[in-house]
Amino acid sequence: MSDEKKYSSIHYGSYLGLDKILNAQEPRSKQVGQEAHEETLFIIVHQVYELWFKQILHEVSSVMELFKTKNVDEKNIDIAVLRLERVNEILKLLIQQIRVIETMTPLDFLDFRSYLFPASGFQSFQFRKLEVMLGLKIEKRISYTPYHYYHEFSEENQKEIVELESQESLFTLIESWLERTPFIDLKGFDFKSKYMTAVEHMINRERDAIQNSDYLSEQEKAMRLKMNGDSNTFFANVFNEDFHNQMIAEGKMRLSYKATIAALLIELYGTEPLLQLPYRLLNVITEMDELLTGWRYRHAQMVMRMLGRKSGTGGSSGHDYLMETVKKHQIFIDFHNISTLLIPRSELPELPLEIKKALGYHFNYSN
């Protein structure tokens, strides 16, 4: 007799648990009186959000596991990129889903809104869990009550959140991985001096182009020269570790100095074969942060459309609070800011042949 495990047949509906899912909509308006037609849409949209949050948590958790080892296998970077790309596609759906709920008019919403107090989207445990796992810890969070953001969750969920707060996040795991990358110290290539020389050349070329312009007035030239800056503006402290650490201490940056330099080098030389996967990883993380910010913004605009300046059912200031989170709840903003330090490919210092070999495929180069 075969030891192979036997599986019984299964039906589409039972496999998907459709009886539970399709019977999980119980409009409050129907329970207390006359059913509001639009409440079913409101419930389903938010249930779908929670299902997608569950999938995002599934993907993010798996990616975090890949980076918890000190020696990240290169093939695991590819897996991480693919899974985070899936997260980004889901986030795009979540943003699009707001258009579905906006087919309901503000008056439609008022037909049942009074039945929802004190329920609120702020009580979504899965979304709060996701924020913490990505790196939005309590000291960075905007609060709208005197209590911790998790005080309305069950005792079990509160315990899980507090535990997550003390653990590494995706942000800190990626930061540690960047700090360990061997790309920072390239023997035979002084990245710091080569980069700053290239910056000087770029700025001088742009300054000459402005000064020699035959269509700009003297006032416009002065304004553009000031905007253009020089190597003593935002480029000045690229390699100043003490200044960088001071910025972190003041809460103006989060990413460590070493990780920032590694990220800059990866962004600049991301076309080199060995750097292509790290480059894709940094970009997919940046896109994820951008999409989350986009979702927050669209959510805030939807609330403004539906409620104007009314306070939220959970006790927040509504639209004003949501717009504040758009600006201050960006987790990977330092990865966006790397773009400030990028220079054109035409100015990029050429890598020595031996380093290009180390970062590429040896058979591409003749001896």
d(C-alpha 165, C-alpha 136), whole Å: 9
Q: How far is CA 363 from the centre of its chain?
A: 37
d(C-alpha 326, C-alpha 272), whole Å: 35
- How many helices and strands, by DSSP H and E, does the chain display? 17, 0
Residue 28's pLDDT is what? 95
3-class state of residue 146 by DSSP: coil
- Total residues belonging to the chain: 367
d(C-alpha 22, C-alpha 298), whole Å: 28
How many CA atoms does the CB half-sphere of 81 hold within 13 Å?
A: 14
Residue 232's pLDDT is what? 59
Residue 188's pLDDT is what? 78
Residue 182's pLDDT is what? 74
Residue 204's pLDDT is what? 86
Residue 72's pLDDT is what? 84
Kindly report the pTM of this predicted structure: 0.89
Contact of 150 with 128, CB cutoff 8 Å: yes
Closest CA to 122 of 364, 295, 270, 316: 316
- Per run of 10 residues, the mean pLDDT along the chain (length 367 residues) is 68 96 96 93 97 98 94 90 98 97 95 87 92 94 80 93 96 96 76 89 86 87 76 75 93 94 94 94 97 95 86 62 89 94 91 85 56
- Which pair of tokens denotes residue 312? 């939220």
Residue 126's pLDDT is what? 96
List Cα–Cα distances, 80 to 11, 278, 305, in angstroms: 33, 10, 37
